[in-house]
Amino acid sequence: MTKLSVNINKIATLRNARGGNTPNLVQAAIDIQEYGAQGITIHPRPDERHIRYQDAFDLTPIVKTEYNIEGNPIKKFMDLVIEIQPAQVTLVPDAIDAITSNAGWDTRKNQSYLREIVGEFHGHNIRTSIFMDPDLELIEYAAKTGTDRIELYTEAYAVGYGLGNKDCVKPYIEAAELAHKLGLGINAGHDLSLENLNYFAKEVPNLLEVSIGHALICESLYLGLENVISMYRRKLE
C-alpha cells in the first residue's frame, strides 16, 4: 500500500504570518500522525519562510512514523540532515528565491555532484530520494548516482488531470516501470489532491509513498484535518 506523508510547511507558514506559536507545529505533527498519516515531511529553505531549521530539531523526537526532510543539499541543509538522521532525505534542486519546487534534477548534468551527495548521506545510513521529472533518460542517470528512490514531480499530471486529460499519467507509468526495473523505489509529490490522487495511485505501479502538503491543508480548512487525512488514506487503498 502507498504511504501518505504529510508536508507541514503550510502550517508553519500560517504560524509565521502572525508570530508566536499558533498553530503549534509540533502538536500539529503529533495530531497528524494520530489521525493516520504514515509520515511527516518538511522542506526547510534558507530564508526559513515557513519551516525553520529549529523546527526540524523540535520535530525529531515526536515523529514516530517516517521523517522525510526535503531540500537543496547546500552545506547548511546537509549538516542539519546528518545531525537529525531522518528516515529519508529528498534532494530538491530549488533555487533560493523559488516560491515552491518547480523542476526536477538534471541527473545527467549533475551526475558526479549527486553521486557525492548520495554517498555522504548513505555514509550516515540515511535513505535518499531524488526529485525528478518523469524523464526516462534522466531516471537512468539517477540510478547511477546510487540513490535509493526517486520522487516523481507530479505538477504536470495534476494540471493535465484537471483539464480532463487522463493520458497525462502515461509518462509517470513509464517512469515508474523503468525506475522499478533499475531497482529504484518510487515516491511522488506536488499538487496531488483528493481530486486526482486515486487515479494516479491506481495507474502508477510500485508507488511507495506520496508527499502531500498544500492541497491537503487547503482541503482541511473546509473538511477538517482528521477527516481529510482519512480521506487521503482511503484514496490510496
Q: How far is Cα 67 from Cα 227, in angstroms, rounded to an integer?
A: 22
> Do 47 and 56 touch, CB atoms closer than 8 A?
no
Question: Of 50, 66, 190, 209, which residue is the catalytic one?
Answer: 190
43 is catalytic: yes
**98 three-class SS:** coil
Question: Of 70, 151, 209, 219, which residue is the catalytic one?
Answer: 70
190 is catalytic: yes
Instruction: For residue 10, report the phi and psi dihedrals to the nearest 5 degrees.
Output: -70, -30
Question: Of 43, 50, 66, 151, which residue is the catalytic one?
Answer: 43
Residues with Cβ < 8 Å from 80, sequence gap 6 or more? Answer: 44, 53, 56, 69
Q: Which three cell numbers stand for residue 134?
A: 518523469
Residues with Cβ < 8 Å from 164, sequence gap 6 or more? Answer: none
70 is catalytic: yes
Q: Which residues are catalytic?
A: 43, 70, 190
